[in-house]
Every structure is written in structure tokens, then in C-alpha cells.
Amino acid sequence: MRPLRSLRRKGSVGSVPQGQLYDSTFVTAADRAEIVSWLDTLWPLWEQRFSAHHPPPQGQAQRQLLRPVYWLGNWQFACLDYYRPPHGVLGRCVRAEPFPPVLARLVAQVEQRSRTLFDPEDVPRDWHLNTCLVNFYGSRLASGTGERRVDTARVGEHRDFEPGPVASISLGERALFQFVRSQRPGERDAVVSQTWLEDSSLQVFGGERWKKHHFHRVQRVEDKGFHRFALHVEGFETRRVNFTFRYVPAEHVIPFAQLPKDSQDDVRGYIAELARHSAFFAETIRGHPAD
């Protein structure tokens, strides 16, 4: 495997291992300002994990996701269980809005850097970053408790199943991002690598080691009071916004109208909510009202 540059940067813990890239100053001040003003045009969704036709498995209950989200390129609704190759690829990725110009420009740079850094065997033939999950980290007002806030700024261990390298741009307060290896039941996960993801930074990871053999998580997001984003989510205070860019093969991205009927029924309410502020989703829902 071609060696990757091993970098030591402010904010990373130790040197950055092979298969990862970290650039703490990737987003310029001008691009950052453009992203922040574009964020003001979004009305993120607060999704439920399950739905009428995709109910909770035995032993699990319906729950709201920890944080509001927005997807670009294609929307992977939680209730449709995300994109999970090799078997869970159909009827999961619903065509969504394109990247705004500033993100499209940054993604072009990331793709170029990734192609020179990663071994070609870790980059699928048609790989390009056509999907973006925007995660909003912060605290929500606890219902019925006056001003009490519940901090939800974390993400538990998981893997991103989209093939090829995944790139992540962070804005706002620093987040402690960890790769972990599962231990025996009852033992704490072993932290294998960790990086403090700073405001305006880029992180990329790829290859079997980081995509398949380890889980990753956001352990916590600092709250130094430096960053607050005024977003359109009632009762939620956002102090970090993260964009993860991934690749979903084009044949697995379908328009809403091609979803199975049950799935259309499950996500129609979300599309209608998005359509209140998005011309793209207004067009999507036109002609597909509930029966």
C-alpha cells in the first residue's frame, strides 16, 4: 500500500495514522462565511428512527434521533435504515438537493487530494463524493422543564457503509473524534486513534482499517462558548456543524416517486416538511400527495 503522509497537527492526538488525513485549516474564512450564510437557508429535520412500515425491532422502542440533520445529494432517512451494502442498497437513498457552490468547490479539492493519498484499491472506480450528511450538534430544551437543556452533542460507535474514503468538514466548537475497537462484552471499547476536529478543519479516512475494522464516534463536543449557529430548529442550540461527504453509486439513488409505496408513505411527511422551505422538495412532493 502506498504510504500516506503522516502529519502531526495542532489538535490531533499524536501523529495522524496511515489511511487518515487531517488538515486543521482547510476551510478559508471566506468559504466559512459562505457556508454559514447558506446554513441559514436550511430547515433541518428531526427524524424518528422508525416508522409505520419499518417499526422498531423487538426490544427497541421508537425514538427521535439525538440531533437534527440535513442531507444533500441523497437523503438517507433513518426509518428506511440508511445505506447498508451489500444487501441494504435499494429504496434507501432518495434524491435530494445538490451541494451549494461553496461545498461543491471544497469537495472537488478533497477528491483531488484523496485520489493522490489513497491506494487506488481503496477508491472505487466511480468514486466521487455525491452525498453529504449535515449533523447539528448542541443541546435541546427538555420538554416541559422550563429552561433546562439536554446536551446531545455526541455520536455513538458506528461505521459509515458507503464505499471508499469519507471526508468530514467541521465548523464550530472542537469535537473529540475517536476510532475504537470493540472489546469483549462488559469491557470498554479500546480507543485506537483520536483527533480533536477543529473549526474549519478537514478529516478524511479510508481503507479497510478505518472503514471496516474499526468503529468511529464523536465522544464529546466542547462548549467553550466560542461558537453558536443561529439555525431554524426550534428549541435547539447548535455549537458545532459537521458535514460528512460520502459516495453512493448512482444506481442506488432514486427519486421519491420510485420508492416502494410503503416507504413513500413513511417519509412523505418529512418531504412535505422540507418542501415548506425547499424548492427542490416542493417539486418532489408535487403530484405525490397522500392518497
Ligand X SMILES: O=C(O)CCC(=O)C(=O)O
Residues of the shown chain interacting with ligand X in the complex, contacts defined by CB under 6 A: 133, 135, 155, 160, 168, 170, 175, 177, 197, 216, 218, 242, 244
In the complex with ligand X, which residue's Cβ is closer, 202 or 259?
A: 202
Nearest-approach distance from CB 158 to ligand X, in angstroms = 6
Sign of torsion over alpha carbons 84, 85, 86, 89: positive
**Bond before 86 cis per omega within 30 degrees:** yes
In the complex with ligand X, which residue's Cβ is closer, 50 or 83?
A: 83
In the complex with ligand X, which residue's Cβ is closer, 129 or 285?
A: 129
Sign of torsion over alpha carbons 36, 40, 45, 46: positive
Q: 273: burial class by Cβ within 10 Å (0-12, 13-18, 19+)?
A: middle
Nearest-approach distance from CB 113 to ligand X, in angstroms = 18
Residue 42 has which C-alpha cell?
436550511
Nearest-approach distance from CB 1 to ligand X, in angstroms = 24
Q: Give yes or no for a contact between 111 and 104, defined as CB atoms under 8 angstroms apart.
A: no
Nearest-approach distance from CB 230 to ligand X, in angstroms = 20
Which residue's C-beta sits nearest to ligand X?
242
In the complex with ligand X, which residue's Cβ is closer, 175 or 202?
A: 175
AA letter at 171: L
In the complex with ligand X, which residue's Cβ is closer, 27 or 155?
A: 155
Beta bridge partners of 245: 132, 167
3-state secondary structure 43-86: CCECCECCCCCCCCCCCCCCCECCCCEEEECEEECHHHCCCECC
Nearest-approach distance from CB 155 to ligand X, in angstroms = 5
